[in-house]
Structures are given as structure tokens and as C-alpha cells.
Structure 1
């Protein structure tokens, strides 16, 4: 059945399907393709007025530069472009790896990932988050992380006029659960652990971590020139991380230990080393020299403070296993490797070191991070501080 033009409307036509009228349609030309052929766009409506209104709305947005460059692009297609073309060179490899993981698990082929970018609404995202929480049993932290990534990617789409507003701005996120109290070594456990490390290959590594609060990647990336034996201090200048080497193809990504910049700008820092820990480092350096001589030309001289038997970087997974076995051997309940960093900070607070100083020693970018992490210690320090005022009121 041919289309019938409405009287006086020219390009607005009635259209039929199997002889039954279905509404109205209008067609406009919006340009030419790379072969010079006309590109046309159609608008449909139940009435002539609705059809004309859709067409006029499109033309007005086009004149204002508010139309997406590609109306057919899906959310997942856009995020792949954003990750592999926009962010691949400006993100730390470990961060890019994490973002790509979130994309593959929570965006690719999901209900929001398959939607056209221009059609994505807050209600779609909200519904998806509710499903993740209520049906998939995902944590509020996962939803919060996903929303942060979505929001960032959609902000870029907004800049490029693929969308008019960012639908993530109006989403209601689930409340985060209270933070779990961090685990630390008691003073007795710390002494017991250190005592148990006699003749342990990683004795100096574990003791240095307890005595400086270094992150695992920071301690593994230390080089001998970073340690100033004269002034008893060290400089944190780099970190090691095993990451997947991300590529935009579908080939399997390989993993590799890489050198990265420290976590934040404040993570590049100078830390004093207790004199007893300095002694452990000197003993460790002597043992390392013996290993180097024994291996001979096969030794890789990376100048690393902590390396494997032939001088290569130590895989963090191996250190974690070694640490876990050492705890078990010392008959100390399991605490993750990061607990040594928490223990260091706690001992500082117990020694009345000011919050700002602890922040700088830990390399936190914001003092609130330090305060929020060590809420279990700070109240006791406040009580001790107030108790010191007692002498003022004794007559």
C-alpha cells in the first residue's frame, strides 16, 4: 500500500501496514554519506501534530548542536571506546585493569550496556542497581564503584554531545555499610612475630614494613639508593604491581610486574627508619651480597633491596604466601599483609604522634583518610590529651 500525503502537509504522510492505517510519518534529508548519497531520517507519530513536533524538535536540537554524533551507539560500545581510546594512556595500568574488569563484568551485555546511549535514562540505571543489590547480592560498594565509572564515562559522552544530561547524576545509591574495624598486631603479637623470623629469608622485609608502614608494592620496589644509612631514612619513589597488559583486541591479556608511580602525589615521601631496623637492613644487604657472589653472572643487578635469589623483582603473591606461612609458624591469627601498615600507624598514635605527621608518614593524600581509618585509636588519644589538663585543676 503506497503512502498517502496529508492535504497541505507535503512531506507529512499517512502510512499503512497490511492496508491498516498506523499513523503518520515525515522524512527529512540530513546530509550525504561518504559516497554522496542522501541520508534521510524518518519521524513517526500517531497524529500529524505529534509527527511534526518530533521533526521540529530534532531540527532545533541539531541547530543548537545538541544531537549525538552517532545515534545508534550503545552504552557498551561507547564505554569500550572511552576505555581503550580515551583512557588507555592516562590511567595507571592497575587502574585501567580495574576499570576494564568492571566494564566486562557489569556493563558488557548488561541491560544498560545494550541500550542505545541516547536512550539511557536514570530509571534504567536505578533499576539495574536495584537488581544488582536485591537479586544478584552485590554489595553497595560494588554499585558505588560501578556508578563512579559510569558517571565518568558518561561525562565524556556529555562533552561530545552524545547525550544531553548525565543520567548518573540523579541516581540514588545504596547506603554503604559501616566500615569493618581494621586488624592490627598487638604489641605482644608484634614482638612474637619479629622473634619468630630469625633466619627467615624475608625477615628484613617484614621488619621494615612494620617499622615504616610501607605498602606492599612500595617495599618491593625499594632500591638501595633509596635508603640513606647516614640519616636513617628512606625515600618512596616507585611501586611494583602485577597487572594485565590491556589491549583493545579480544586477545588474552598477559600479566606482568610493572613499575608504577606511587599511589598518590603524597605517596612520594621520605620516612625515618628506626635504628634497630637499619641494623636489620645492613645484615640483609650482607646476605644479599653473598647470594650475588654465589649466583655469579646469572645474577640480575636491579639494585633492589628485596629480590629473588637471582636479583629479579619478587612477585607480591609469593611474599603474601611467605607472610601467611610465617604467621602460622608463629601461631598468630591471620591478618592480611596490610595489617603491618595499620600496626605501624597505630603504634605512632599510641606514642602520641600528631595526626598530621601520621598522615605524611603514611602518604595519605587527605588527612580525613587517616582520621577515618584509625578511628579505633583516636578516641583514646583524645582522652589522654584531656587527662594532661588535670594538673591545671589540682589546687
Structure 2
């Protein structure tokens, strides 16, 4: 074979014969529109209410939300920029750049998103004044109760009671991002626009989330077939 390569007798790229398994990760379309509305209502008194709104409306990742700075948010013109994320690196919380060009994006703030962030900003200023000298300002939109970067796993303390309240006890926080993608596509938003909102590097990821049918949808489909050939 080596001689054949040297003699340029190989007529096709043998590397194309190698089958690299595609990465597998759990895909879930998240919750439906009704439960999304219930979550917004149920989280009204939660200090992270605005975080849930941004996740449902803009499909932001947890690391993007926790790394978001007020300097990245323009409430006057109505947009925010995703520049950095909060990640645990070598056991320490660090701010790192958005992982891809698609992840680094500008998102619109309209309607509830904009108004909720205004109220969140006012609430945070009050929280900082109450904390006094213990407040450490890092310009973060969603910091800990003393202004420092929030431990990502601590988000569960807020999310777990809320998901139980809306009857979604097995739903992961990340599934709310999938919820945004599914709801936007259901509304007829073009896939390439949804991809840019969610920050997917490939539109195939966007459509994979949408194509992941729920058990109820599968059951309804088989019922139709049963009515046709049963």
C-alpha cells in the first residue's frame, strides 16, 4: 500500500472510508408553550426571574447567562452582546471567550425581555446597597448574592423548586434553551434565524432539537396510522 501511495496509484481518498462516530448527547425539546408561560409566572418572585426569561426568549446557555455583564447590555437601544462565558477551568471559575464565532452574537431585547431586565437592574442595585461592604461588584447581570460570579451548580437551588412547581420535574435547565428553539420554529421563524439566536455552530443542531419528537407526538402519529390501516 505504501508503494502504491508513492507511485500515486491510489485513485481515491482512503481517509473518506474512515467512519468517525458523530457525538451523542441527550436532546430534549424541553417544555411546551403553556409550561413556559407557567414558569415565567412561577418565577416572578425569584431573584433570577430575568435569567429564566432570557433563557426562554433568547435560548441563552447557562455559561453565557452567568458570564453576562451589564456592559454587554444596552437597555436603551434594546440589545445585548454575548462576549464571554463563566466556566469552571482547572477547578476554578473563570471568564472565557464565547466558544465559537456563532456563540459570540448580538441578541435583541424587546417586550418582556427588556422590561424584565430593567426591573432586574433596579432590584440588583437595591441588593447591592443592602449588602453594603460585603458586595463585590463584577458588573455581572446574574451574580451571587454578594456580587461575585455565581457557582453554576447553585442555579439548581432556584431551578429545582420551580420545575417541580410547573410539573416538569425531570427537565434540565439546559432544556429551556431547547424550548426556545422549538417554540420559535413552531411559530414559523426561519431556521437560519433561530440558529443565529441560539448560537448554534451548525443548523443541523437546530433542526435536531426540533426533530426530537415527544412521546405524545409519536403516540398521536401511530394513532393516525392505526385509524388508516387498523
Please tell me the TM-score bracket, short chain as reference.
0.7 to 0.9
- Aligned counterpart for 2:108 among listed residues 247, 259, 272: 272
- Distance in 2 separating the partners of 1:337 and 1:181: 12
SS at match of 2:98: coil
Please report the TM-score for the alignment, with normalisation by the length of structure 2.
0.78
Residue 210 of structure 1: SS of its match in structure 2?
helix
Per the normalisation by structure 1, the TM-score is 0.47
Trace 1:1-395 onto structure 2 (pairs within 5 A).
181-244=27-90, 255-376=91-212
CA distance in 2 between counterparts of 1:329 and 1:210 reads: 17
Q: Quick one: distance in 1 between partners of 2:24 and 2:146?
A: 45
Aligned residues: 199
Long gaps (5+) in structure 2: 1-14, 214-230
Closer/same/farther in 2, CA of residues 315 and 179 from structure 1, 3 Å limit: closer
**Cα deviation 1:57-110 (Å, max 9, x = unaligned):** xxxxxxxxxxxxxxxxxxxxxxxxxxxxxxxxxxxxxxxxxxxxxxxxxxxxxx
Structure 1 unaligned spans of 5+: 1-168, 245-254, 378-395
Q: Secondary structure at the match of 2:102?
A: helix
| Change in 2 beyond 3 A, CA 1:289/1:215 | same
RCO (CA 8 Å, sep 6+): is it higher in 1 or 2?
2
Q: CA RMSD in A?
A: 2.4
Residue number in structure 2 paired with 1:137: none
Please state how far the C-alpha of 1:173 moved relative to its aligned partner: 6.5
Question: Per-residue CA shift, 1:17-55, capped at 9, x if unaligned?
Answer: xxxxxxxxxxxxxxxxxxxxxxxxxxxxxxxxxxxxxxx
Misfit runs of 4+, over 6 Å: 169-179
Question: Larger radius of gyration, structure 1 or 2?
Answer: 1
SS state at 1:374 partner: helix
Greater Cα shift, 170-179 or 192-201: 170-179
Change (3 A) 1:371 1:237: same
Q: Distance in 1 between matches of 2:83 and 2:22?
A: 34
Report how far residue 320 of structure 1 moved: 2.7
Which residue of structure 1 lines up, in the alignment, with residue 9 of structure 2?
none
Q: Deviations over 1:352-382 (max 9, x none)?
A: 11111111111122223323332248xxxxx
Inter-CA distance 305–376: structure 2 relative to 1 (3 Å threshold): same
The separation in 2 between residues aligned to 1:350 and 1:284, in whole angstroms, is: 29
- Going from structure 1 to structure 2, the CA distance change for 1:371 and 1:294 (only over 3 Å counts) comes to same
Higher share in strand? 1
